[in-house]
Amino acid sequence: MDFRAQLDSPLFTHFISHYAQPTGPDLLGRTEPFFEWQESRRRAGLWPYSRSLEAAPKAECGVRSETGAARQGLNFGSQDYLSLSTHPAVVEAAHRAIQDYGLHSAGSAMLGGNTTPSLMLEKALAEHLQTPHVALFSTGWGAGFGVIAGLVRPDDHVVLDALSHACLQQGAAAATTNVSRVPHLNNRAMRRKLQEIRARDTQNAVLVVTEGLFSMDSDVPRIEELQSICREYGATLLVDVAHDLGAMGPRGTGSLGVQGLLGKVDLVVGAFSKTFASNGGFVATRSPAVRQFIRIMGGPHIFSNALLPMQAAVVLESLRIVRSEEGDALRAKARENILALRGAFAARGVTCLGEPSNVVPVQVGDAKVARLASKKVFDRDIFANLVEYPAVRVRETRFRMQVMASHTLEQVQRAADGVCDAIEEARAELEVRPAATRASRRDEQRPQVEL
């Protein structure tokens, strides 16, 4: 296909947002334009989403596109930061749980769905976070959505970092219309917003929401300062540690451990799907009353089936490894890979955003170039996820490469070279010059559907 001839067509100019608000009386039929646009991208090899793995998410594995195109190659798209999903002890824990408890928890946590592994996991997480009361959820999404929707009432206020995860944003929207967003990582703007809210409302609660590590930008907030601001204005702080807990910090305690804040933050929310080899999530609090309130009032907890005993056992064993000397070694190996990958891109003049973490955002910039580069990356047998608008700004399209402890330095170098070559080829083919990139956009806002 002559892609340059298609540059002004929807193949390159349209985004998901063009189809997000269909109108008309035919509720089902009005989805057709979106499907037709997807089909055109699939036929051209420019639809990089909904791929499937054909084996375990190892450093090299088989990947198949929605059209059936299969590749065996480098995997920099899976969230298995310490490579625990194939760890022999974790696999054995899953087998034992199946033998002892069967496959199903067979109920919500409020109606008989708890199991011995899930109760043990709550205690282990409470100890790890130095926060005594933990409620488990069957998904990380459910934990983030449920804690906000469960605690916040219509007259309350929620103030989010503009780049907060979609589950947090949608939880806020479900709870109240009093939702504000402040520029990313801007604590001064947060102070101004809280001051503004308290100047007109001292009778209702305010929840401030941030993350321990923002996975589209790989950057970290100043949490202690944020907690102090919240105290000053009588606000409650929630920190989502989905991407940092287990993967970074002393003994895998994440950004809270790095900043000396274990047990000091009001609410901690997390997911198991990045480091702990399973679906699931949690909310941790210092208050038994808050825990019980969330369990009953947070819809995803009471109205979803509880974590499977196998899942709870897998997370429990993963947490044991995370807290051990072996966990330290895995984090050290992952960091070696992270620094090597970022260094390899820098050597080719390609910008990686944020701070070193298992998420390496590789800035492409031009969305058209990125879309074609993604095809070329896949054709090179490299699996790396493309992030487009509205998850990021149109001119800040990027690859979100995810680094595992099991990657080798040779694989890291090969992946960086392949992605850089693909970007250069796409620019040359489309005759698009590279634009200046910005490594820091801390005071900017953008639409967000972070994964």
92 shares a domain with 70: no
SS3 per-residue string spanning 105-162: CCCECCCCCCCHHHHHHHHHHHHHHCCCEEEEECCHHHHHHHHHHHHCCCCCEEEEEC
Strand partners, 136: 282
What pLDDT is stored for residue 239 in this prediction? Answer: 99
Q: In angstroms, rounded to a whole number, what is the distance separating the alpha carbons of residues 119 and 351?
A: 44
- The answer to the question of residue 448 being in a domain is no
Give the tens place of pLDDT for each residue, 427-439: 999 987 776 544 4
Give the tens place of pLDDT for each residue, 223-268: 999 999 999 999 999 999 999 999 999 999 999 999 999 999 999 9
Specify the number of domains making up the chain: 2
What pLDDT is stored for residue 444 in this prediction? Answer: 38
**Is residue 336 predicted with pLDDT exceeding 90?**
yes
What pLDDT is stored for residue 439 in this prediction? Answer: 43
User: Mean pLDDT of all residues in the chain?
Assistant: 95
108 shares a domain with 58: no
Which whole number is the average pLDDT over 342-347? 98
**Is residue 450 predicted with pLDDT exceeding 80?**
no
**Is residue 445 predicted with pLDDT exceeding 80?**
no
What pLDDT is stored for residue 435 in this prediction? Answer: 63
253 shares a domain with 241: yes
Domain CATH code at residue 156: 3.40.640.10
For the chain, percent of residues with pLDDT exceeding 70:
96
Which whole number is the average pLDDT over 288-294? 97
Domain residue limits at 269: 87-322
**Is residue 407 predicted with pLDDT exceeding 70?**
yes
Residues whose CB is less than 8 angstroms from the CB of residue 447 and which lie 6 or more positions away in sequence, other chains included: 17, 389, 390, 391
145 shares a domain with 56: no
- The answer to the question of residue 81 being in a domain is no
